[in-house]
């Protein structure tokens, strides 16, 4: 009882008290549970960010967060790699494009997202599995490719997305019109929230026949909670403390995590009720996507979903809409700061029949360039992490660097996207034209990942972003109120504060 109460209240404890207690805990953990690693032979010849005895860089991590810690690692790793000890684990920052591509191309047998569930892991995916259950994030081996291909057929194929275009357009029109209702102008407190709501409604409709998936705010609130916990180091620390005291079985959820899973289950149950209602009322209509995924993986045309499709119901509630909301918000901020770019985009929108899928998908090069440039500067998922499972040599490093089991490899897309070395002295500026002739090989662009674990739904997300932006800019003149939005680097790359705008209907 005491530990369950602590588990639920730990986030409210004074940070100073938590830091003090955690330092003691980590020292204890270091002596009891980790293999010793001598700093002299960890990664010979690779720059090391020095920390404090036993704890290494942990105090820095807990005080400033992983992105700031990695920023320091990048600063000292001039040749694309550096490391720091985290207690007696090793955190490796790989920030050379070739090395990043190599690590992301490793099969799961060599590098996975989680590591061993019975030992301390700083990977956010360790926490995520306990919050939402198994998903495509966790699977390894040949089975993974089959699952990925099912998603790709539904969300990354031109044919499939063309079938969704009318639905996306209809929902974008309804949600943008709702910004002012019957009026001609409105003050929108947070345009990202409005775009998130559109995206949640879109996923609800195409998956279950539930365009009211956003009503009540349950999905957005739940998703924000999961993202916060998955990216918070205290979640991993507290879980490991309970593992040490045998208060939880490795891999199982704590009581507070189980409560989140119960909330997820209620939302999924409501969606399944909507699906069954839709199927009952429309027996001859095409199957909704969640049903198609289920049929593809052994489920029936009615009744319970296949295991694969059922797992996706949880995964989709956690993600799938943030990239749309954040892309819309950052694009509007960038365009507002650069009136010339906004004028070029508006001219293109007005010159193209945007009611046709092919035009929106393939014949709007400046819109594509705007979205790509915004993703370069503000990738929603700004970094990823891999846990080394089997000893391997980093071949692209140009010298023998051996990555050993248990090492955590952190890969920063944000650094690759904004490095003056890779993109030139104007790397920090918003210049969509740089993408009109295609990006060059030495300019790494990975807003949706790279290799066998890249995003399986990025094309439908890009299509939804395009349609929402087109509809918004054709319907309204949009004025972003604050021109000084700063970046908040957390689990996702967000704005420091809400993006408030004024929208005025065009005549």
85, β-bridge pairs: 90
pLDDT given at position 136: 79
Quick one: 133 and 146 in the same domain? no
Mean predicted lDDT score pLDDT of the chain: 88
pLDDT given at position 25: 52
> 257 pLDDT band (50/70/90 cuts)?
very high
CB atoms within 10 A of CB 376: 26
Taking a C-beta distance cutoff of 8 angstroms, is the pair 180, 503 a contact? yes
Q: For residue 160, give both structure tokens.
A: 């499939």
pLDDT tens per residue across span 380-422: 999 999 999 899 999 998 888 999 998 999 999 999 999 999 9
Does residue 495 belong to any structural domain of this protein? no
Distance CA 228, CA 226 (A): 5
pLDDT given at position 148: 86
Q: Could you tell me which residue, 125 or 279, shows the higher pLDDT?
A: 279
Taking a C-beta distance cutoff of 8 angstroms, is the pair 466, 195 a contact? no
Compute the Cα dihedral for 448, 450, 454, 460 and give only its sign.
positive
Quick one: 120 and 15 in the same domain? yes
Does residue 497 belong to any structural domain of this protein? no
Give the count of domains, the chain: 2
Taking a C-beta distance cutoff of 8 angstroms, is the pair 194, 489 a contact? no
List the domain range (segments joined by +) for residue 84. Answer: 2-138+383-414
- Which residues lie closer than 8 Å to 402 by C-beta, 6 or more apart? 43, 391, 392, 393, 394
455 has binding-site annotation: yes
Mean pLDDT over residues 275-290, rounded? 96
Quick one: 262 and 402 in the same domain? no
Quick one: 71 and 98 in the same domain? yes
Q: Is 96 helix (H, G, I), strand (E, B) or coil?
A: coil
pLDDT given at position 461: 96
Least Cα distance to 417 among 455, 384, 383, 444 occurs for 444
Mean pLDDT over residues 338-354, rounded? 97
Quick one: 332 and 409 in the same domain? no
pLDDT given at position 116: 64
Can you give the CATH number for the domain in which 221 is found?
A: 1.10.630.10
Distance CA 311, CA 307 (A): 6
pLDDT given at position 38: 43
Listing DSSP states for 314-362 in one string gives HHHHHSSSHHHHHHHHHHHHHHHH-HHHHHHHHHHHHHS-TTSHHHHHH
> 297 pLDDT band (50/70/90 cuts)?
confident
Quick one: 336 and 302 in the same domain? yes
> 22 pLDDT band (50/70/90 cuts)?
low
Q: What is the DSSP letter of 288?
A: P
Mean pLDDT over residues 472-495, rounded? 92
Quick one: 35 and 73 in the same domain? yes
pLDDT tens per residue across span 227-244: 999 888 888 888 888 888
pLDDT given at position 465: 98
> 33 pLDDT band (50/70/90 cuts)?
very low
pLDDT at 10 over 70: no
Q: What is the DSSP letter of 284?
A: T
Does residue 59 belong to any structural domain of this protein? yes
Quick one: 99 and 15 in the same domain? yes
Mean pLDDT over residues 350-368, rounded? 97
Q: Are strands 89-94 and 408-412 parallel, antiparallel or unpaired?
A: parallel
pLDDT given at position 145: 80
Quick one: 341 and 439 in the same domain? yes
Taking a C-beta distance cutoff of 8 angstroms, is the pair 373, 430 a contact? yes
Does residue 174 belong to any structural domain of this protein? yes
pLDDT at 330 over 90: yes
Does residue 302 belong to any structural domain of this protein? yes
Quick one: 374 and 406 in the same domain? no
Distance CA 55, CA 85 (A): 8
> 113 pLDDT band (50/70/90 cuts)?
confident
Q: Could you tell me which residue, 451 or 287, shows the higher pLDDT?
A: 287
Does residue 186 belong to any structural domain of this protein? no
pLDDT given at position 16: 45
pLDDT at 8 over 60: no
Quick one: 151 and 92 in the same domain? no
pTM here is 0.90
pLDDT given at position 7: 45
Does residue 231 belong to any structural domain of this protein? no
Distance CA 136, CA 147 (A): 7
Q: Could you tell me which residue, 209 or 65, shows the higher pLDDT?
A: 209
Mean pLDDT over residues 28-34, rounded? 44
Does residue 6 belong to any structural domain of this protein? yes
Quick one: 71 and 162 in the same domain? no
Q: Is 85 helix (H, G, I), strand (E, B) or coil?
A: strand
Q: CA angle 343-344-347, nearest 5°?
A: 85
pLDDT at 27 over 60: no
pLDDT at 3 over 60: no
């Amino acid at each position: 009882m005491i530990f369950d109460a602590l588990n639920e209240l730990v986030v409210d404890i004074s940070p100073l008290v938590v830091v003090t207690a955690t330092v003691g805990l980590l020292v204890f953990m270091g002596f009891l549970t980790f293999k010793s690693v001598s700093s002299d032979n960890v990664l010979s010849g690779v720059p090391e960010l020095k920390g404090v005895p036993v704890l290494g860089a942990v105090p820095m991590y807990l005080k400033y967060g992983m992105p700031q810690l990695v920023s320091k690692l990048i600063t000292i790793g001039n040749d694309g790699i550096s490391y720091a000890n985290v207690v007696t684990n090793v955190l490796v920052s790989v920030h050379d494009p070739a090395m990043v591509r190599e690590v992301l191309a490793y099969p799961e047998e060599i590098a996975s997202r989680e590591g061993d569930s019975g030992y301390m892991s700083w990977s956010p995916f360790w926490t995520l599995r306990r919050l939402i259950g198994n998903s495509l994030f966790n699977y390894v081996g040949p089975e993974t490719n089959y699952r990925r291909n099912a998603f790709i057929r539904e969300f990354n194929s031109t044919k499939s997305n063309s079938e969704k275009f009318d639905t996306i357009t209809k929902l974008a029109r309804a949600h943008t019109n709702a910004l002012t209702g019957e009026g001609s102008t409105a003050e929108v407190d947070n345009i990202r929230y409005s775009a998130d709501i559109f995206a949640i409604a879109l996923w609800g409709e195409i998956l279950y026949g539930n365009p009211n998936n956003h009503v009540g705010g349950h999905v957005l609130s739940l998703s924000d909670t999961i993202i916060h916990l998955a990216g918070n180091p205290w979640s991993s620390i507290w879980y490991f403390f309970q593992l040490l005291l045998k208060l939880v079985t490795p891999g199982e959820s704590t009581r507070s995590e189980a409560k989140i899973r119960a909330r997820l289950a209620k939302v999924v149950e409501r969606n399944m009720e909507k699906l069954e209602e839709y199927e009952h009322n429309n027996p001859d209509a095409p199957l909704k996507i969640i049903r198609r995924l289920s049929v593809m993986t052994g489920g029936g045309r009615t009744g319970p979903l296949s295991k694969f499709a059922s797992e996706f119901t949880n995964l989709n509630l956690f993600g799938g809409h943030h990239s749309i909301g954040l892309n819309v918000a950052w694009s509007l901020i960038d365009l507002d700061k650069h009136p010339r770019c906004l004028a070029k985009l508006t001219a293109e929108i007005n010159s193209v029949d945007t009611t046709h899928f092919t035009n929106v998908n393939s014949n709007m090069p400046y819109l594509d360039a705007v979205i790509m440039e915004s993703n370069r500067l503000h990738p929603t998922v700004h970094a990823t992490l891999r846990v080394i499972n089997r000893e391997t040599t980093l071949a692209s490093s140009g010298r023998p660097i051996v990555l050993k089991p248990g090492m955590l490899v952190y890969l920063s897309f944000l650094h690759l996207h904004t490095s003056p070395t890779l993109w030139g002295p104007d790397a920090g500026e918003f210049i969509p034209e740089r993408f009109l002739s295609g990006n060059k090989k030495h300019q790494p662009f990975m807003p949706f990942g790279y290799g066998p674990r890249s995003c399986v739904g990025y094309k439908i997300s890009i299509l939804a972003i395009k349609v929402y932006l087109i509809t918004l800019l054709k319907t309204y003149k949009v004025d972003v109120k604050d021109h000084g939005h700063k970046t908040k680097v957390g689990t996702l790359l967000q704005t420091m504060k809400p993006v408030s705008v004024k929208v005025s209907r065009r005549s």
